[in-house]
Copies of this chain bind each other. A is one copy, B any other.
Amino acid sequence: MEKIRVGIVGYGNVGRGVEKAVKENPDMELVAVFTRRDPASLSIDTPSAKVYKLEDAFSMTDEIDVMVLCGGSATDLAVQGPQFAAHFNTVDSFDTHAKIPAYYATLDAVAKKTTAIMSTGWDPGLFSMMRVLSGAVLPNGSDYTFWGRGVSQGHSDAIRRIPGVQYAIQYTVPIDAAVEAVRAGRQPQLTTREKHTRECYVVAEVGADRAAIEQAIVTMPNYFDEYNTTVTFLDKETFLREHREMPHGGMVLRSGVTGDGHNQIIEFDLTLDSNPEFTGSVLAAYARAAYRLAKEGSYGVKTVLDVPLAYLAAEDRMSLIAHLL
């Protein structure tokens, strides 16, 4: 079997997740990892792959079928997305919702002989697919998205910037009563405070004012002030033992009505022990789609709303139709 030759750009948590996902897909092989760090400093988990400097990629267009861009949206992807999509088929998980149209335009300008699938992952990504699918099926209804229980990196980082904080992690937690009201078809109007709580676990530096830290967290504008937030102080050993994983997940629900008042509920749930490994798994499936679309000459910017599901699976289309339809 001819394997899909994958390159990874950026070897953080998501990059490592893609590397693990490629190992689970026998029709793919990891060829190279590209990094801004010193390549010699990077130890990767795939003996047959090599580590290169980022800029070396552009002389390797014949060696790589799809580049999986694993940098962050805020700074990395805005630059790397168009840079790589001009020369390679690409997949990314660009996740700054408000900037999606602008990012789309930068890829659209360069992806003339390449296929660039943007904003895969799970939100945006699988959750977006569910919003579009369920809205199309139930036009008379309301959408609900809940996140968690899971780690928010942005909120954890915000806590770590407070003076006196040594380690911190924040879990976003959906409120059961809100989820149950939606599942019951009541189409509730929910405030921010009614949908999620925020649980914070903090290791304070010796001598730090814990009351001041807690106050700084729960009143922090944009991050915590609109939520009911709990702050729990832990010793360092407990923290490092109990809060080293990156679980996440969430739910997308559509509560609609058909005919003479029949409630119809569509729900999609993710329960993830490892957020970056799951994101990496979604990126790998879309890497396969990018490869196939490009082979057919279907170039340009694509999203999860544009790619037929049959392109994601390793099995061929007629076999999927016979066995999974």
Q: Is the CB of A305 within 8 A of B285?
A: no
A133 in complex: contacting residue of B126, B136, B264, B272, CB < 8 Å: B126
A138 in complex: contacting residue of B17, B97, B281, B308, CB < 8 Å: B281
A129 in complex: contacting residue of B24, B183, B309, CB < 8 Å: B309
Please report which residues of chain A, range 279-325, place their CB below 8 angstroms from some CB of chain B when the two chains form the complex.
280-282, 285, 288, 303-310, 312-314, 317-318, 320-322, 324-325
Q: Does A119 contact B (CB under 8 A)?
A: yes
- Say how far A74's CB is from chain B's closest CB, in angstroms: 17
Q: Is the CB of B277 within 8 A of A259?
A: yes
Q: Is the CB of B259 within 8 A of A264?
A: no
Q: Is the CB of A139 within 8 A of B25?
A: yes
Q: Does A274 contact B (CB under 8 A)?
A: yes
Q: Does A230 contact B (CB under 8 A)?
A: no
Residues of B within 8 A of A308 (CB): 305-308
Q: Is the CB of A137 within 8 A of B282?
A: yes
- Oligomeric state, in number of copies? 2
Residues of B within 8 A of A312 (CB): 132-133, 136-137
Would you list the 9 A-B pairs with minimal beta carbon distance, nearest first? A136-B312, A262-B273, A262-B274, A258-B277, A305-B310, A265-B271, A267-B269, A136-B285, A136-B313
Q: How large is the interface on A (under 10, 10 to 19, 20 to 34, 35 or more residues)?
A: 35 or more
Q: Does A266 contact B (CB under 8 A)?
A: yes
Given A138-B281, A308-B308, A310-B306, A268 and B267 contact (CB-CB distance below 8 Å): yes
Cα distance A325–B137 in the bound complex, in angstroms: 17
Tell which of A21, A126, A137, A140 has the most Cβ of chain B within 10 Å.
A137
Across the interface, name the chain B residue whose C-beta is closest to A269: B267
Given A308-B308, A325-B304, A258 and B281 contact (CB-CB distance below 8 Å): yes
A128 in complex: contacting residue of B131, B135, B307, B324, CB < 8 Å: B324
Q: Is the CB of B305 within 8 A of A259?
A: no
Q: Is the CB of B21 within 8 A of A258?
A: yes
Q: Is the CB of B271 within 8 A of A137?
A: no
Across the interface, name the chain B residue whose C-beta is closest to A252: B268
Across the interface, name the chain B residue whose C-beta is closest to A138: B281
